[in-house]
Structure 1
């Protein structure tokens, strides 16, 4: 009997899209009114499905609408997206998404994330140019010699640094750039591709799960809850360190097991094909790390430093990041004296290798478009908030965490989740005599826990780069998710009673 193969990432997303389209026929359509601040006119714009009205930008307006958020959170730009207005949910005429909408959703998704797709393709081009020069091989030779017998340091360093980026400025989509670079390094260290994937993806996930200064989750969620973002930060730092240690130990245990016996690898049946895909064109022992190659590698690394600086300090986004990688590729082409025709062909070939990843990102956004057009996201939020209302402290806060895990399937954007849900969910803390920072923590942990496996998030795109199936990732990650869930429950329970 022929073994049934687990479907590809693209097929998984299409199946999810079909399921979501079916849900729009079963779940009632509904929507909260939205409130946005117009900086140019210093006014609020209240929007419902029927119309939009302009209101005075004053604290009285917020109080009259039941929005318990200080006015300066809007006027300072801390809240820059439209928020949901409590108590305004209303059922609407059903908008079931049929066959036509199902077919068009992936195409709309690709258009909606065109900036991310362009970034991914240009990263592929840059990596191909660096690969052509041989700088990766030379650099990895030097790194392998330095870490000989202490390869676990690589796991600790990569996971910790990416977690630091995740917790401070929301390093997530940008990590896609790291996979083609780091996978060969981990394979050279006698680990498998799962270890490289884990260090990058788990590092980012645990960092964003317990964000400290991340403006796209903690800060915008706290602002939308009407509290200062520093409230509750001590507990989050403790949880971050605890979670990071658990993740690093978990990865190292698996990595050491694979290093000792490669047959213990979850992807052992793909060992040869993956190593061939990320193999070097020459023996790495024979490559001399020349000054020219050092300069190429330095420019490559500098691109990422400039990218991080721009995102954190200059309000850069995907187009600016793409520009940095494009300039980096051109500079490397000049330094290594690559022929113009060879440069173009190599760059395009590298972009083509990440085309499947780009399509996966677009397909995932298509799922959220189906939910948005079907008007079911707010309905799910409305019933979720009703579900947690009136519980005791411990049950309330843990139920809120799991509610957020469920909602993150339908609203994978952390900032989108914050502005849509926090004005509705945070006032529920008042009914059980809790500070609203606890709801912010429940939001972070709930969304973060599900991000480890969320098929509408980044994991399928990340797996596509490594050519690892979603089923194998689940086999690897589920025990860790269970451990982190238990630790999160303990953390939230203790925090509401002390």
Structure 2
């Protein structure tokens, strides 16, 4: 059997397919209005019409590659600087020191470790939509997982997988729930009680699944390397700075409207401070930063290439046609069935449109009037969006964060899809049941 294509080949192949589809799918567009205060473009319902635009040339396809990478510049800078920062901290010995103590505390309590780590990443997903930031943490997480006897897939699930779950079922994810509620014209953070209950149910089932998997697929534990006693105090200072930095970043994102650049600045400062506290010196700290960049560069390129796909589809003027085709038939279905089909349609749409915040801005103005027409509450419409779109991040090959994480872990995409497909269906089933319940109780 031939070797399955790597992440680079998959992304380029999907980009080429997207370019080919611009010749096959009719071009069309919705009319849009721009909010003068926010600058956000909103779709006008029932304004779709076919158009006659120029097709993308082969050179346009090639041009979309560098433009896609450049379009994710802030995210790429964040991954590079976080990667360099963690590489420096690792070289100071502070991470080995901290992980060693943590592993010794959790010795014989591997299930507890799985629950704690999964809960932390789920909380990160629920509060700040954590995803891209995980890419730079993967080497450390893999070391931690192996020290507890967990294989790569288990480590991926308790980190990236838990973050996606938290993002999807969150009552407050700013990039999914809040944007979608704003577009739907309903109070922000309203309906959080049902979302929170469903998230707890989904997380419990997710944890039970992971516990079952890890017990059946244990690997030999890898002992943490010994740490010199003389580095103990410096290591504690560095780890304290790390915790403080995470606290500052979370506060900034939640309360000061911080973006990737502000987060990057914090981690850059942490990396420099850690190198100096760890007595690496100015030159070696710089060299370690460069070495950390090298570790992350392939993941960054994959992230940028994934952005090229959605860029091609937008420039080819077929995204709106896909939306029109997916959601048009919903008006002929009952509210409960329509809600579930809406969730599935959002999942499918997430493949060509991997930004779920952008997906909310595009689809909610179309779906809200449709929901009003068929008797589906706007709150349930938002549920269908967040469950369908965000859960698709488990397998969407156009999602740069996923492909970057798999690239760093050296896990083939087909192996990951085969592994995650069953739990993903289980989570989608939970989402579908939540939508049916929401319809039955008049969730609004």
TM-score when normalising by structure 2: 0.95
1:394 is the counterpart of 2:336: yes
Deviation at 1:286, TM superposition (A): 5.0
User: 1:209 — aligned with what?
Assistant: 168
1:305 is the counterpart of 2:247: yes
Deviation at 1:332, TM superposition (A): 1.2
Q: Distance in 1 between matches of 2:375 and 2:417?
A: 38
User: Aligned pair in 2 of structure 1 residues 152, 86: CA closer, same or farther (>3 Å)?
Assistant: same
How big is each residue's C-alpha offset from its partner over 1:237-274, in whole Å with a ceiling of 9 and x where there is no partner? 12111111111111121122222x66xxxxxxxxxxxx
Larger Rg, first or second structure (1 or 2):
1
2:166–2:199 CA contact under 8 A, matched in 1: yes
User: 2:58 — aligned with what?
Assistant: 99
Q: Distance in 2 between matches of 1:302 and 1:176?
A: 20
Q: Distance in 1 between matches of 2:25 and 2:433?
A: 33
User: 2:225 — aligned with what?
Assistant: 284
Of 390, 406, 423, the residue aligned with 1:463 is 406
Q: Distance in 2 between matches of 1:95 and 1:445?
A: 35
User: 1:168 — aligned with what?
Assistant: 127
Matches within 5 A, 1:69-218: 81-218=40-177
SS of equivalent residue, structure 1 residue 213: coil
| Farther off after superposition, 365-374 or 177-186 | 177-186
1:127–1:180 CA contact under 8 A, matched in 2: no
1:497 is the counterpart of 2:429: no
User: 1:65 — aligned with what?
Assistant: none
User: Aligned pair in 2 of structure 1 residues 308, 286: CA closer, same or farther (>3 Å)?
Assistant: closer
User: 2:422 — aligned with what?
Assistant: 479
User: 1:319 — aligned with what?
Assistant: 261
Q: Distance in 1 between matches of 2:254 and 2:429?
A: 33
User: 1:381 — aligned with what?
Assistant: 323
SS of equivalent residue, structure 1 residue 284: coil
Of 3, 6, 13, the residue aligned with 1:5 is 3
Q: Distance in 2 between matches of 1:333 and 1:466?
A: 26
SS of equivalent residue, structure 2 residue 127: helix
SS of equivalent residue, structure 1 residue 354: helix
TM-score when normalising by structure 1: 0.85
| Farther off after superposition, 223-232 or 243-252 | 223-232
User: 1:72 — aligned with what?
Assistant: none
Structure 2: 5+ residue runs without aligned partners? none
Q: Distance in 2 between matches of 1:168 and 1:138?
A: 29
1:28–1:94 CA contact under 8 A, matched in 2: no
Of 413, 417, 423, the residue aligned with 2:359 is 417
Tell me the number of residue pairs that the alignment of Structure 1 and Structure 2 aligns. Answer: 439
SS of equivalent residue, structure 1 residue 171: coil
User: Aligned pair in 2 of structure 1 residues 286, 224: CA closer, same or farther (>3 Å)?
Assistant: closer
2:177–2:189 CA contact under 8 A, matched in 1: no
User: 1:437 — aligned with what?
Assistant: 379
Deviation at 1:395, TM superposition (A): 1.6
User: 2:14 — aligned with what?
Assistant: 16
User: 1:29 — aligned with what?
Assistant: 27
2:124–2:166 CA contact under 8 A, matched in 1: yes
How big is each residue's C-alpha offset from its partner over 1:350-376, in whole Å with a ceiling of 9 and x where there is no partner? 111100000001000000100110011
1:335 is the counterpart of 2:277: yes
Q: Distance in 2 between matches of 1:144 and 1:232?
A: 39
Q: Distance in 1 between matches of 2:54 and 2:112?
A: 53
Structure 1: 5+ residue runs without aligned partners? 40-76, 263-274
User: 2:214 — aligned with what?
Assistant: 255
1:21–1:96 CA contact under 8 A, matched in 2: no
1:227–1:437 CA contact under 8 A, matched in 2: yes
SS of equivalent residue, structure 1 residue 180: helix
1:24–1:95 CA contact under 8 A, matched in 2: no
